[in-house]
C-alpha cells in the first residue's frame, strides 16, 4: 500500500510504500506499475541508476531533460539522507519558477516523483547516501540541461552552504 503526502504542485508526488518487518529484517516495495496506474500515475521506468554519494554537501542540479524526451524521475534514498528539490520550469505554468523541497532518507522511506517540465536538485545531508534514481525516458546528452542553483529568479533556500559540485553545475547558466 502507498501512503501519500500533499505537495504544493499537483504533479509532484511524494509517497512511500509501507514495508513489512519481522525477525528476519524488512522489505519495502520499490516499484509497482499496477499501484501507480490505479492512482493515475503514468510512470514506467526505462532506466534505473544507483548513486553512491560519499560525502555530506554534494549537490546535483538543477537538472532536467528537454523535449522531445522530457523525463519524469522517481527518487528515493535507501541509505543516508538528503534534501530533494522539484523546480517548476514550465513557462506557461502559474507556478513557474516556484519550488518544493523535502527530506528523503532511508529512515523516512519517502519517494518523490518529479514530473516532466520540472527541474531536479538534490543535496546530500549525510555521508554515505545511497540513492535509487529511475527515469522514464533514456538519457540524451544533447537534451540534458542545467540551471544554476544560485539563480535569483528561482531563489532556492540553500545559499549559505558550501557544496561539492560537478563542473557542469558550477558553471550552469541562469534562466535568463
Q: What is the mean pLDDT of residues 97-119?
A: 96
The predicted pLDDT at position 160 comes to 63
CB proximity list for 166: less than 8 A, separation 6 or greater: 60
pLDDT attached to residue 1: 60
Stretch among 4-13, 14-23, 134-143 having the lowest mean pLDDT: 14-23
The three-state (H, E, C) secondary structure of 84-153, written as one string: EEEEECCCCCCCCCCEEEEEEECCCCCEEEECCCEEEEEEECCCCEEEEEEECCCCCCCCEEECCCCCCC
Examine the pLDDT at 159 and tell me if it is beyond 70. no
CA distance linking residue 135 with residue 131, whole number of Å: 13
The pLDDT tens digits for 30-43 are: 888 888 888 888 89
Give CA–CA dist 70/140, Å, rounded. Answer: 10
Q: What is the pLDDT of residues 47-85, one digit of tens each?
A: 999 999 999 999 998 999 999 999 999 999 999 999 999
- Phi-psi category of residue 158: left, alpha or beta, with phi > 0 → left and psi -120 to 50 → alpha: alpha
Q: How confident is the model at residue 158 (pLDDT cuts 50, 70, 90)?
A: confident
Say whether pTM exceeds 0.95. no
Task: Please report, rounded to a whole number, the percentage of residues in the chain having pLDDT higher than 90.
Answer: 77
pLDDT value at residue 6:
86
Distances (CA, A) of 43 to 32, 107, 124: 10, 24, 25
What mean pLDDT is predicted for residues 129-156? 96
Any idea what DSSP says for residue 159?
T
Check residue 5 and give its pLDDT. Answer: 84
**Stretch 18-32: mean pLDDT, rounded?**
85
Assign 2 a pLDDT band (cuts: 50, 70, 90): confident
Amino acid at each position: 500500500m502507498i501512503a501519500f503526502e500533499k505537495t504544493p504542485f499537483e504533479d509532484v508526488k511524494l509517497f512511500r510504500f509501507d514495508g513489512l518487518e519481522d525477525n528476519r529484517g524488512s522489505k519495502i516495495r520499490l516499484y509497482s506499475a499496477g499501484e501507480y496506474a490505479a492512482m493515475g500515475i503514468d510512470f514506467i521506468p526505462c532506466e534505473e541508476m544507483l548513486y553512491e554519494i560519499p560525502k555530506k554537501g554534494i549537490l546535483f542540479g538543477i537538472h532536467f531533460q528537454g523535449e522531445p524526451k522530457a523525463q519524469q524521475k522517481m527518487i528515493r534514498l535507501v541509505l543516508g539522507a538528503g534534501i530533494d528539490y522539484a523546480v517548476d520550469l514550465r513557462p506557461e505554468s502559474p507556478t513557474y519558477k516556484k519550488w518544493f523541497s523535502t527530506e528523503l532518507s532511508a529512515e523516512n522511506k519517502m519517494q518523490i516523483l518529479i514530473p516532466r517540465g520540472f527541474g531536479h536538485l538534490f543535496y546530500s545531508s549525510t555521508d554515505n547516501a545511497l540513492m535509487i534514481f529511475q527515469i522514464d525516458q533514456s538519457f540524451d546528452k544533447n537534451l540534458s540541461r542545467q540551471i544554476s542553483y544560485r539563480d535569483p529568479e528561482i531563489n532556492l533556500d540553500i545559499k549559505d552552504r558550501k557544496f561539492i559540485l560537478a563542473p557542469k553545475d558550477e558553471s550552469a547558466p541562469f534562466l535568463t
